[in-house]
């Protein structure tokens, strides 16, 4: 897999690796996390952050509170045998605490510069929360 991300300061990051390692550090840099940026994900978008490793070797989600599509929501949607991993479990395996709410309700978790929404319902709320965090960074 080739990943190329151009950032606003003209830096470019590339990776041909599909294996864990430098590509994940590149993702952390591309997300802007290590330079003080805000990372936001909603519903299954949280899959994009669960394997991101920071330059110090820690997972991005380690010791953070997150929301992601809950296991019960995956079951209700008939997706447990379709998705490669359950989004409630994966962040917890990386050291995060999944903070869920009632199934298919708007629920957003803000933990510092990490903003996550549980399912599609809080899409706008997740974006608004990310904007509020950005205004205060």
Q: What is the pLDDT of residues 16-52, one digit of tens each?
A: 444 444 554 456 666 788 888 999 999 998 888 888 8
Chain mean pLDDT for the chain: 82
Alpha carbon distance 15, 22 (integer Å): 8
Contacts of 83 (CB under 8 A, 6+ apart): 44, 74
| Domains by residue range for the chain, with CATH | 37-136 (3.40.50.880)
Write down the pTM of the prediction.
0.79
Ranges of residues in the chain with a pLDDT under 50 are 1-21, 24-25
Q: Which residues participate in catalysis according to the annotation?
A: 43-44, 74
């Amino acid at each position: 897999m080739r990943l190329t991300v151009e950032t606003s300061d003209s830096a470019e990051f590339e990776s041909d690796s599909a294996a864990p390692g430098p590509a994940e550090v590149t993702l952390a840099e591309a997300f802007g996390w290590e330079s003080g940026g805000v990372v936001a994900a909603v519903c299954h978008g949280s899959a994009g952050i669960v394997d991101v490793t920071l330059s110090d070797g820690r997972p991005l989600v380690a010791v953070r509170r997150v929301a992601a599509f809950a296991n019960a929501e995956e079951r209700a949607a008939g997706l447990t045998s379709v998705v490669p991993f359950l989004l409630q479990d994966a962040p917890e395996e990386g050291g995060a605490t999944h903070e869920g709410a009632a199934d298919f309700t708007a629920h957003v978790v803000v933990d510092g510069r990490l903003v996550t929404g549980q399912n599609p319902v809080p899409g706008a709320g997740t974006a608004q929360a990310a904007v509020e965090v950005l205004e205060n960074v």
